[in-house]
Structure 1
Amino acid sequence: MTALGLAAGPVVALGFTRFAYALLLPSMRSELDWSYAAAGGLNTANALGYIIGAGSAAWWSRRLGAGRSFVWGMIISAVALLASGLTDDFTALSVLRFVGGLSTAVTFVVGSALASRVRTGGRQQRSAALVGVYMAGVGIGVVLSGLVVPAALTAWGASGWQAGWLLLGLLALLAVGPATWAAKGVPSAPPAAAAQGSAGLSRMAPSFAWYVLFGAGYVSYMTFVIALLREQGLGTWSTAGFFIVLGAASALATLLVWGRVIGRLHGGRAPALVSAIVLVGVLPVLLSDGPAAAIVSAVIFGTGFMAGPTAVTVLARRMLPQHAWTSGIAWLTVAFSVGQAIGPLLSGALSDSEGGIAKGLWLSVALLAVSAAVALFQRERPAVAPAVPASAPAAEPAPVDQK
């Protein structure tokens, strides 16, 4: 139940603040007369904030405590969502997207570390499953966005995008309650040992490179796929159905499948598998038009896209000492955010050129293919645990490298 309560964090951090923008984008772009590059730039502002938030998450965790950082990040994100519905100024929206990115990164990174510390009785596969429960919050947030935003667009017409932001902000405030309860139930992290953790990060260099490429590849699809489907003739509720199916597939796969699968795979095998599945998920909407291709794409892409953060969180947990989990996950998330900042800009620029949105989304395919190859260079070695006082609880054992 604790991991499920923590999942309210990614509901807000990614399901609402990051991915709901794809549903709101066609209406915002039409009413505000944006180019695709400008639309991608707004998501890049969000990603830049995410980079800073991820890089400072460990500092905030030490400064305020993990639980407070997690909860306050959600509160600030909710306020940014509400404020986004109160202005149509591009600069103001960019600032709000930046602030939302910063606060949600703190929530997501610290929440990932909290989920990694939920007691598991020393079982690695159960630990991976609990991280999967936490990550399933993203899919739940996508489903809720797929219900709320189209309803707002239907009810309020051209100004429905503003109502959509406001409704998401209200839901985000409601999510703070269960998140606060869950954060209080997580054991405290052990004290940090001096001069440890950096060597573990250097051994994860292939994972950093993979996460940059994966972030750029998947977020380009998530930013512009709704616009592509609208170009192909799908209406508001058809695209909403696509988004709901994608979110439901993500939540179910993350809850029921990926935690167990990732718990059994070592080194870069899990990230490579995730990239391959997400790549296959992009292809149906590029190779065919219509609702059937959209649903196939939603199911395959949705099944895989949030398995990426699950895989890298579990890998960090295995390869880093426990006191370094928050900082390790934070720096990995910085790499992820760099990719997410670059991807929409490049994809948006390509979408504005001859060939349209589909040309921009082929960039996702190329980036995901390269990321799968890079992931296979990752080798896994157990974390070197720092010495702890005799009274301190023992850390869960790291898995033995199967290679």
Structure 2
Amino acid sequence: MQAMGASTARPRSEYMIALGLAAGPVVALGFTRFAYALLLPSMRSELNWTYAAAGGLNTANALGYIIGAGSGAWWSRRLGAGRSFVIGIVISALALLGSGLTSDFTALSIFRFIGGLATAVTFVVGSALASRIPTGGRQHRSAALVGVYMAGVGIGVVIAGVVVPAALTAWDASGWQAGWLLMGLLALLLVGPAAWAVKAVPPAAPPTGAANEASSLRRMTPAFIWYVLFGAGYVSYMTFVIALLRDQGMGTWSTAGFFVVLGGASALATLLVWGRIIGRLRGGHAPALVSVVVLVGVLPVLLFDGAAAAIASAVIFGAGFMAGPTAVTVLARRMLPQHAWTSGIAWLTVAFSVGQAVGPLIAGILSDSEGGIAKGLWLSVILLLLSAIASLFQREVKPAPEPRAVAEAGAK
């Protein structure tokens, strides 16, 4: 009877750990990256920015993200995974607070850069931590737990979709600064749950073969190409879609509703749907499916005006966009030896970040030209289509057995 009780309680504790770790993506992507889309129209109006300048600020964030992603595994080894994860959230919170205390473009760019670096470390290390939550070897359960972790992004988008419009309404011209400050304070409150969760995750297996890791990474080349294109495609939409909707005549609270629906669709789909689907698909089929769903989600606001098109776009795009990191994290877990999960996810996130750095800048330049924001967002459609094609070339190959595991099998 006692054993049955322990077995029943175990999944619940696994999901609670994943939910605690989800504080990382709430701050890293929900607040630091995506909430900027809500703040951009007000900031652009008050600070007299072009769309290229607005995209450039997001590029500064993405450049920081590239460096943070590339150094995530190093920080994990240097400070420990749990400590790196929590410190990343703290620094991200301080960068959010700093963004609300200045209107200087250079200072804002620096805070966006620092925020990008810190959140990348948090997201990379957190993805590896979520992959290491004990499941007794059950692949489908592991995919579901990674999905819970990624659902933090949607939760963060929903929170931002309520907090930012409230700040813009209450403080008017200075509302964008209040929005950054409020998100910074909320980020600090999430440090507690994150710190609790990391204590429950076992340490990574020690490295046993660098050559095995390198060859496994080379076999994931199509996934790297997919992630660059996917990152550039989806983030161009996320950066400028609110500005497009405002140009189409939607007000502050209408666009806030759009953002809340998008975040809610993301959280629910990541929690309830994608974990199961990704757990069953092999190779590049899951990333390709994600790209197609996200591409379809971009089309309604480009083809039609009005609330119905906006809501359709929010539901479809929201349901798909965070399935991308879920799919690539699960793929890395399957194809890399355990000790290489953090570094593998880090390098994949670098690829993702390169796309996120380039996409908004090019989309911003296109948006400043004849054709406006819609012209920039058609770039998303093209890039997402190319990403789906690239992903289909990915084949799934299991990592070679660890030397230690082979020796133990031989002894038996």
TM-score above 0.5, yes or no:
yes
Deviation at 1:388, TM superposition (A): 3.0
Deviation at 1:21, TM superposition (A): 0.2
Instruction: Specify which of 33, 51, 57 is matched with residue 66 of structure 2.
Output: 51
Q: Is the 8 A contact 1:51 1:333 kept in 2?
A: yes
Query: Which residue number in structure 2 is paired with residue 332 of structure 1?
Result: 348
User: Could you tell me how far apart the structure 2 residues matched to 1:154 and 1:76 are?
Assistant: 28
Q: Is the 8 A contact 1:273 1:372 kept in 2?
A: yes
The one-letter amino acid paired with 1:40 is: G
The one-letter amino acid paired with 1:274 is: V
Question: Do residues 108 (structure 1) and 123 (structure 2) align?
Answer: yes
Query: Which residue number in structure 1 is paired with residue 202 of structure 2?
Result: 187
Instruction: Specify which of 3, 16, 23 is matched with residue 8 of structure 1.
Output: 23
The one-letter amino acid paired with 2:181 is: L
The one-letter amino acid paired with 1:140 is: I
Instruction: Specify which of 58, 65, 72 is matched with residue 87 of structure 2.
Output: 72
The one-letter amino acid paired with 2:92 is: S
User: Could you tell me how far apart the structure 2 residues matched to 1:299 and 1:85 are?
Assistant: 30
User: Could you tell me how far apart the structure 1 residues matched to 2:205 and 2:95 are?
Assistant: 33
The one-letter amino acid paired with 1:112 is: S
Query: Which residue number in structure 1 is paired with residue 268 of structure 2?
Result: 252
Deviation at 1:121, TM superposition (A): 1.1
Query: Which residue number in structure 2 is paired with residue 214 of structure 1?
Result: 230
Query: Which residue number in structure 2 is paired with residue 40 of structure 1?
Result: 55
Q: Is the 8 A contact 1:46 1:98 kept in 2?
A: yes
Distance 1:378 1:390, change over 3 A: closer
TM-score by length of 2: 0.94
- Give every structure 1 segment of 4 or more consecutive aligned residues whose post-TM-superposition deviation is greater than 6 Å: 389-392
Q: Which has the higher helix share?
A: 2
Residues 4-403 of structure 1: pairs in structure 2 closer than 5 A: 4-195=19-210, 196-388=212-404
User: Could you tell me how far apart the structure 2 residues matched to 1:39 and 1:385 are?
Assistant: 48
Q: Is the 8 A contact 1:322 1:385 kept in 2?
A: no
Cα offsets for 1:23-48 (capped at 9, x unmatched): 00000000000000000000000000
User: Could you tell me how far apart the structure 1 residues matched to 2:307 and 2:111 are?
Assistant: 33
Cα offsets for 1:267-294 (capped at 9, x unmatched): 0000000000000000000000011100
Q: What SS does structure 1 have at the residue aligned with 2:403?
A: coil
User: Could you tell me how far apart the structure 1 residues matched to 2:400 and 2:86 are?
Assistant: 31
User: Could you tell me how far apart the structure 2 residues matched to 1:142 and 1:7 are?
Assistant: 13
Cα offsets for 1:41-87 (capped at 9, x unmatched): 00000000000000000000000000000000000000000010000
User: Could you tell me how far apart the structure 2 residues matched to 1:193 and 1:89 are?
Assistant: 49
User: Could you tell me how far apart the structure 2 residues matched to 1:390 and 1:35 are?
Assistant: 59
User: Could you tell me how far apart the structure 2 residues matched to 1:133 and 1:224 are?
Assistant: 27
User: Could you tell me how far apart the structure 2 residues matched to 1:34 and 1:113 are?
Assistant: 38
Deviation at 1:390, TM superposition (A): 10
User: Could you tell me how far apart the structure 2 residues matched to 1:272 and 1:28 are?
Assistant: 35
The one-letter amino acid paired with 2:296 is: V
Q: What SS does structure 2 have at the residue aligned with 1:197?
A: helix
The one-letter amino acid paired with 2:234 is: Y
Structure 2: give runs of 5+ residues left out of the alignment: 1-15
The one-letter amino acid paired with 2:248 is: Q
User: Could you tell me how far apart the structure 2 residues matched to 1:172 and 1:383 are?
Assistant: 37
Deviation at 1:389, TM superposition (A): 7.3
Deviation at 1:193, TM superposition (A): 1.4
